[in-house]
Amino acid sequence: MKSPGHVESVVTDAKLVEQRRGQILKAAVKLFSEKGYYITTVQQIAAKAGVSTGLIYQYFGDKDDVLFLALNRVLETYEREIPRRLEGIEHPVDQLCTGLWAYCSIVDGMREETVLAYRSTKSLRADRRNLIKEKETKTNRLLGECLHACIEQGHMNPVNEYLLVYQYVTFCHAWALKGWAFRGKFTLSDYVSEGIALLVEPFLTAKGRTALDSLRRRTNGFSAERWPKQQPARPRARNN
Amino acid sequence: MKSPGHVESVVTDAKLVEQRRGQILKAAVKLFSEKGYYITTVQQIAAKAGVSTGLIYQYFGDKDDVLFLALNRVLETYEREIPRRLEGIEHPVDQLCTGLWAYCSIVDGMREETVLAYRSTKSLRADRRNLIKEKETKTNRLLGECLHACIEQGHMNPVNEYLLVYQYVTFCHAWALKGWAFRGKFTLSDYVSEGIALLVEPFLTAKGRTALDSLRRRTNGFSAERWPKQQPARPRARNN
Amino acid sequence: MKSPGHVESVVTDAKLVEQRRGQILKAAVKLFSEKGYYITTVQQIAAKAGVSTGLIYQYFGDKDDVLFLALNRVLETYEREIPRRLEGIEHPVDQLCTGLWAYCSIVDGMREETVLAYRSTKSLRADRRNLIKEKETKTNRLLGECLHACIEQGHMNPVNEYLLVYQYVTFCHAWALKGWAFRGKFTLSDYVSEGIALLVEPFLTAKGRTALDSLRRRTNGFSAERWPKQQPARPRARNN
Amino acid sequence: MKSPGHVESVVTDAKLVEQRRGQILKAAVKLFSEKGYYITTVQQIAAKAGVSTGLIYQYFGDKDDVLFLALNRVLETYEREIPRRLEGIEHPVDQLCTGLWAYCSIVDGMREETVLAYRSTKSLRADRRNLIKEKETKTNRLLGECLHACIEQGHMNPVNEYLLVYQYVTFCHAWALKGWAFRGKFTLSDYVSEGIALLVEPFLTAKGRTALDSLRRRTNGFSAERWPKQQPARPRARNN
DNA sequence: AATGAATGAGTGTTCATTCAT
DNA sequence: TATGAATGAACACTCATTCAT
């Protein structure tokens, strides 16, 4: 009857639903991130969003729905934005590095949300927890495919892909999770460059290394100028 | 007035306090791990521990105390056990690899607790959250020192130590956090071996590599025989 | 200030008021009957009536008004229809029996409404509760007068009129209230015939019994043919 | 798993459960009777019972449980007390009349509760509604058996037993339901006597009438002296 | 006249904490 | 020391009612 991934709204106007949900989720993400899901009360979310308590229940079935949609948005942003940033990039080494950069910079734009996704998944109802896990896996696969191409095309020596991808993912998440420790020490692009030095470069073949050098030259070492921090373009226009 | 790290007990008999707290914490850790801190009720902890609700308040000031001591125990186990496993090991490469192995195997023996430490730290009162973070940092430093020695003594090329240590730590935690994904694919010792291949080996100098090879020979590739899964000696005898 | 029996409407067009109220009350009666007054929400009434929530407040002052008018309609139907069915009937025994039949068949046509009237009167505001009770009493008086005439004119032996009328009324209501139990066992006209046998016949004098026999002959034992189940003519034409 | 007729209590001491439930139900019955189930809040019940809100949830699963047990008590009192009053009475006519008297006088001792049972059954969860209906049916059967015996043994002419029993039952309930109208006009024993005159006497055979006359002589016309209003002996001793 | 989104006071229920025994 | 019944503040959620459009 009720699919776990669906969130009911009493209100029918789709545009309004989108707007109100955004407004409420923004407040919820902030509060959930600061204080945690259980500590945050629905009334607090309402207050922060500048709406009444009852309104929340016009756009979400219950509190769990709010968390679910919040997490969903984060993961969907990853899933949508990473491929967008890889568009037009052909070389697997370029793709992998750009993928890492993209993931980190998206994380950077959604630090609170990322922390939330990390910490609060288990507060979800069991069926939805799995939905979220699947989405996470899908995102991981994006980096996994880049890595696999590198190896297959001889730019990288064979490695335990499965574990290495996992290291990539935690590396990207860490920018949000341990941000308090990192942000004093690195800029985002330094962080990514260092990550590539640790987790990509050592495994490259000569061929692969050439590609990386070329990329570095072209990007001035992943400087922020070339790869500016970029807000994930939210509701993009049609003909973009 | 109240030091953040201290937990009051109404009961004075130190031995009894230790025993009862152990009994209660064991139940609490299990429940907190399964269902989370906020979902778990004090009455459930009491029921699982086989004591009355009131008794918990004889040995802990409040529910937060229970979580704090639970997390504390986990981190203290790391802090106590890792050095114990490094005793007598001189060579820095040996130390680093053994340290990774030790950390992972301790995590393996306390999977639930580790997940708990990861997820529930933010449920603590702010002052205690920092205490726990410090403990975590101290543990990280154990690996950090091994890594630093490797580099300083020329077994490893210079790398961004700070980031690499962080990768080490997340690698060890991942055995608990992503256990559901990993445990079907690797044994614990495979996992550690692969981790060393990914996160240590690439950075070794020729000298360092020789040491690693020798270690591998001596340990049959970190086989479980040589480095048996080992229960972290829980309430160890006095004269150890 | 506010007479208890009056229900305000924002809308002035009397015809429209009548139509809309009918539409809304029909939905309300159904829902109130099924689920009860408190369980039913104004939004549900609106949905079932095919109008917006706000519209209800254009035609009723509040939710209590809706219940009041719903109950009122039921009782007014009794009050209007029973005399209509007695028109032209002269003999008191005929009148009493026809009155019982009429009441039962009106109840049969408004089963849900009758149950509602029985069960939900106390959900009304106190002042209106009395208004409804008075209406009920007035209806009872209709049967009471028939009974009284029977006795006075020597068709019936003296009995405790007050109690017997009450038995008549509960007998008629029971067709709706205990319908689930009765409708498998009797047709409506059987039910009425049996009721007359139990609650009228025993008290008749010889004279009265003759009248009843004659009535029975004329009506084929209150067969459905002669006294067809009849929808209480709802929005009756003017010149009826 | 959860039988509809069972009500969970957190408290284990059976004696205490009995006492507290009694205390709470007494308050609940009064409030439910006065204002109805939905209007009455749990906090009001708690206040009237002189306990805290939370305590109610130690002895009842939810508000529905409170209503259910309240209704259950009423019906169980009928079921228990009517047979008790019939003990030792052999003659069917005596039994029937005594049964009516017993039922009415029990109703008289539980007027509020009876009204509640009548009005609030539909506020129960569906499964429990049926449990209550069954209990009601069982009580009806008590009178039904008396009536049947009267007919079978030739004290009464054959009648539609099913309908007549139903009239008996509503007659008894009416003492509570329409008490406001009746109590000014009759004493309880007058009421019962009149009821017997209307609903029993007319159907008696000569034999049956003799029995009724004898009963009347023996009881001085059901005077209150002979059949005193009697509190249903609540927690009766074992060897009664 | 009609809509339906918005409100917020009020409800049932939970659970950390207390305390008499 | 240990119990577990009792407390009551706090929360998620509902729904009659309002009002801008």
Q: Give, for all 240 residues of chain C, the pLDDT tens digit.
A: 468 889 989 999 999 999 999 999 999 999 999 999 999 999 999 999 999 999 999 999 999 999 999 999 999 999 999 999 999 999 999 999 999 999 999 999 999 999 999 889 999 998 999 999 999 999 999 999 999 999 999 999 999 999 999 999 999 999 999 888 888 899 999 999 999 999 999 999 999 999 999 999 888 766 544 444 444 433 433 333
Give the residue with minimal CA–C1' separation from E15.
B41
User: Are C61 and C156 a contacting pair, CB within 8 Å?
Assistant: no
What residue type is D74 in one-letter code? V
Note whether residue A237 is domain-resident. no
Q: What are phi and psi of D23, to 5 degrees?
A: -60, -45
Give the residue whose CA sits closest to E11 at C1'.
D41
Q: Which two tokens stand for residue C223?
A: 């067969």
Chain A residues inside the 8 Å CB shell of B191: 163
Closest CA to A177 of C50, C240, B122: B122
B224 beta carbon < 7 A from strand F? Answer: no
Nucleic strand F near CB of residue B39 (< 7 Å): no
Best A166, A172, A188, A189 residue to mutate vs chain B (most B CBs within 10 Å): A166
* Token pair recorded at residue A16: 């309004």
- D112 or C227, which is more confident? D112
Alpha-carbon gap, residue A171 to A192, rounded angstroms: 9
In A3-87, alpha helices (H): 14-35, 42-49, 53-59, 63-86
Tell me if chain C has a CB within 8 Å of the CB of D163: yes
Give domain status of residue A3, yes or no: no
Tell whether A112 lies on the interface with B, counting CB pairs under 8 A.
Answer: no
CA–C1' span, A126 to E3, in Å?
A: 39
Q: What's the half-sphere exposure (Cβ side, CA atoms, 13 Å) at D95?
A: 21
Distances (CA, A) of B80 to A32, B72, B77, B114, B237: 34, 12, 5, 15, 14
B128 CA, F9 C1': Å apart: 25
Q: Is the dihedral angle over the CA atoms C91, C95, C101, C106 positive or is it negative? A: positive
CA–CA separation, B76 and D67 (whole Å): 53
Q: How far is the CA of A2 from the C1' of E3 (A)?
A: 29
Please enumerate, as own/partner, the contacts of A91-94 that have beta carbons within 8 Å and a separation of 24 or more.
Answer: A91/A211, A91/A215, A92/A146, A92/A149, A92/A150, A92/A153, A92/A155, A93/A150, A93/A155, A93/A156, A93/A200, A93/A204, A93/A208, A93/A211, A93/A212, A93/A215, A94/A211, A94/A215
Report the pLDDT value the prediction gives residue A4, as an integer from 0 to 100: 84
Alpha carbon distances (Å) from B199 to A15, B103, C59, D125? 49, 15, 75, 62
**What does DSSP assign to residue B201?**
G
Nucleotide nearest to C65 (CA to C1'): F16
Q: CA-to-CA distance for D119 and D138, rounded, in angstroms?
A: 19
How many other CB atoms are found less than 10 A from the CB of residue D217? 9
Whether B168 and B143 have beta carbons less than 8 Å apart is answered as: yes
Residue C159: strand, helix, or coil = coil
Closest residue, CA to C1' of F15: C41
pLDDT of residue D212: 95
Q: Is the CB of C125 under 7 A from strand F?
A: no
With 70 as the cut, is the pLDDT of residue B144 above it? yes
Q: Tens digit of pLDDT for each residue in C153-189?
A: 999 999 999 999 999 999 999 999 988 888 889 999 9
Q: Please say whether the beta carbons of D2 and D38 come within 8 A.
A: no
Spatial CA neighbour of C228 closest among C190, C201, C189? C189
**Across all strands, nucleotide nearest D53 (CA–C1'):** F8
CB–CB contacts below 8 A, C to D: 55
Return the pLDDT at B111.
93
D166 touches chain C (CB under 8 A): yes
Q: pLDDT at position B5, please?
A: 85
Q: Does the distance separating the beta carbons of D167 and C199 come in below 8 Å? A: yes
Residue C97 CA to residue C200 CA, distance in Å, equals: 8
One-letter identity of residue B127: D
Which residues of chain A are modeled with pLDDT < 70?
1-2, 221-240
Using CA atoms, how far residue C175 sits from C198, D143, D157, in Å, is 15, 20, 25
Q: Is residue B227 in some structural domain?
A: no
CB-nearest to B122 from A119, A174, A194 is A119
CB atoms near residue A234 (< 10 Å): 9
Contact assessment for residue D116 and residue D175, using Cβ atoms and an 8 Å cutoff: no
Please report, as a single letter, which amino acid is at residue A18. E
Longest dimension (CA), chain C: 62
Question: How many angstroms is C1' of E6 away from CA of A12?
Answer: 14
CA A232 to chain CA centroid, Å, is 10
pLDDT at position A236? 36
Q: Is the pLDDT of residue B14 over 90?
A: yes
Domain count, chain D: 1
Cβ-contact D184, D150 below 8 angstroms:
no
Q: Beta-strand (E) ranges in D71-180?
A: none
Which chain B residue lies closest to A182 (C-alpha atoms)? B163
Range 172-231 of C in CB contact (< 8 A) with D: 174, 178, 185, 191, 194-195, 197-199, 202-203
3-state secondary structure of B41: coil
Location of structure tokens 């591998």: B216
- The answer to whether strand F lies under 7 Å from the CB of residue B16 is yes
Distance A33 CA to F5 C1' (A): 38
Residues of D in contact with C122 (CB under 8 A): 36, 119
Q: Cβ(C158)–Cβ(C151) under 8 Å?
A: yes
Rounded CA gap, C56 and C67, in Å?
Answer: 12
- For residues A72 and C72, what is the distance between their CA atoms, to the nearest angstrom? 52
Q: Which of residues 42-101 of D touch strand F (CB under 7 A)?
A: 51-55, 57-58
Q: Is A231 inside any structural domain?
A: no
**F10 C1' to A41 CA distance, Å:** 10
The pLDDT score that the predictor gives to residue C4 is 83
Would you say residue D225 has pLDDT above 60?
A: no
pLDDT tens figures, D161-179: 999 999 999 999 999 998 8
Please state the φ and ψ torsions of residue A153, each to the nearest 5 degrees.
-90, 10
Compute φ and ψ for B225, nearest 5 degrees.
-65, -50
Q: Do B166 and A178 touch (CB under 8 A)?
A: yes
- The predicted structure's pLDDT at residue A233: 40
Question: How many interface pairs between A and B have CB atoms less than 8 angstroms apart?
Answer: 55
Q: Residue C222 has what pLDDT?
A: 62
Q: Which residue of C124, C167, C189, C196 is the best one to mutate when testing the D interface, meaning the one whose CB has the most D CBs within 10 A? A: C167
Encode pLDDT of C42-74 as tens digits.
Answer: 999 999 999 999 999 999 999 999 999 999 999
Cross-chain Cβ contact A203/B199 below 8 Å: no
Cβ(C211)–Cβ(C120) below 8 Å? no
> Among C105, C96, C79, C114, which Cα is nearest to C161's?
C96
Among D107, D119, D117, D121, which residue's Cα sits nearest to residue D183?
Answer: D107
Per DSSP, the three-state class of B195 is helix
CA A105 to chain centre: 9
Phi (first) and psi of residue C110, to 5 degrees: -135, 45
> Which residues span the domain enclosing D99?
14-218
Of A119, A159, A199, the CB nearest to B119: A119
Burial class (CB in 10 A: 0-12, 13-18, 19+), C88: exposed
CA distances from D65 to B134, B212, D79 (A): 51, 70, 20
Q: What is the DSSP letter of C113?
A: H
Q: Which of C100, C122, C196 to mutate to test the interface with D (most CBs of D within 10 A)?
A: C122
Q: Are C96 and C146 spatial neighbours (Cβ–Cβ below 8 Å)?
A: yes
Reduce the DSSP state of residue B204 to 3 states and report it: strand
Token pair belonging to C224: 């459905």
Name the residue closest to E19, CA to C1'.
B54
Q: List the nucleotides on chain F closer than 7 A to a protein CB.
A: 1-20
Task: Output the CA–CA distances (angstroms, integers) from residue C129 to A40, C133, C156, in the order listed.
Answer: 45, 6, 35
Q: B194 vs B28, B174, B198, CA distance in Å?
A: 34, 13, 6
φ/ψ (deg, to 5) at D206: -55, -45
CA angle in degrees (0–180, nearest 5) for A76-A81-A85: 160
Nearest nucleotide over every DNA/RNA strand to the D16 CA, judged by C1'? F5
Check C174 against D170: CB less than 8 A apart.
Answer: yes
Tokens of D56: 């109610």
Question: Is the C-beta atom of D16 closer than 7 angstroms to strand F?
Answer: yes
Q: What is the pLDDT of residue D227?
A: 46
Work out the end-to-end distance of chain A between its first and last CA atoms, rounded to an integer number of angstroms: 38
Closest CA to A106 of A192, A232, A235: A232
Chain B residues within an 8 Å CB radius of A37 = 38
The amino acid present at C125, given as its one-letter code, is R
Confirm whether any atom of chain F, the nucleic acid strand, is less than 7 Å from CB of B52: yes
Residue C155 lies in a domain: yes
Q: For C156, list phi and psi in degrees, rounded to 5.
A: -140, 145
pLDDT at position A231, please? 41
Pick the closest to residue A140 from A198, A95, A203, A79 (CA basis): A79
Q: What is the DSSP string of D166-193?
A: HHHHHHHHHHHHTHHHHTTT--HHHHHH
Identify the pLDDT of residue D226: 43
User: What are D37-65's pLDDT values in tens digits?
Assistant: 999 999 999 999 999 999 999 999 999 99
Give strand E nucleotides closer than 7 A to any protein Cβ: 1-20
Q: Is residue A228 part of a domain?
A: no
For residues B211 and B91, the answer to whether their CB atoms sit within 8 Å is: yes
In Å, how far is C168's CA from the nearest CA of chain D? Answer: 10
Query: What's the rounded Cα separation, in Å, for the pair D230 and B171?
Result: 79
**Over residues B200-216, mean pLDDT:** 95
CB-closest option in B37, B160, B199 to A194: B160
Distance of CA B139 to the CA centre of its chain: 8
Closest among C157, C229, C156, C142 to C192, alpha carbons compared: C229
> CA–C1' span, D55 to F1, in Å?
26
Residue among D122, D124, D167, D169 at smallest CA distance from D142: D169
Give a yes or no: residue B223 inside a domain.
no
Whichever domain contains D162, its CATH number is 1.10.357.10
Which protein residue has its CA closest to C1' of E7? A52
B36 in Cβ contact with B98 (< 8 Å)? no
Query: Quick check: is D58 in a domain?
Result: yes
